[in-house]
Amino acid sequence: MNKTVLTMKKMDVSFLWRSEPEFALERVVLGTGEATSAEFALSGADPTDDLRCLIALVRLYLTREIRELPIDALDLSTLTPFQRRVLLTLGEKVPYGSTVSYGELASLAGAPNAARAVGTALRSNQFPLFLPCHRVIRSDGSIGGFQGGSESGVRLKRFLLDFEST
């Protein structure tokens, strides 16, 4: 199962993805690590208003009712200025259903010779659905890595690219 952790201003939230037999958001966990404070199945429980809103937004995205997720609740304080610039540029300039190469994103972010640094910044992205690093591909058109480059991460990236292109 894949795990995506979002560091929000008020809480940490983990999204757990099932990859077999098909990709699906399995559950949402409030907190991180072994000491989670609460776990909520997508169909049950009564989470806080913030978590309920977050789950609703992700559901709307996954049912294609919205195309972009808002970033105002994300805690970007742990990012370097360069990481923040790259990720915010990605969110602002690369729309739903499109892709850009690492080099193109570097240029858009004002650092045209920093394709490798852009890749490093994307690797540290804690908000992959909100700041959609899955939209960044290699200059040769191959999809590149995702969430650490694991096989399941690359499959998730392919799923998200296919999801947005249909």
Q: H or E stretch including 152?
A: helix 151-165
Determine how β-strand 100-101 pairs with β-strand 136-137: parallel
- Annotated active-site residue 133? The verdict is yes
> Which one of 25, 108, 133, 137 is the catalytic residue?
133
Contact status, residue 21 vs residue 33, Cβ threshold 8 Å: no
Helices 115-123 and 81-93, axial angle in degrees (round to 10): 90
Sheet of strand 12-18: strand arrangement: 2-7, 12-18, 24-30, 38-41
Active site residue ranges: 133
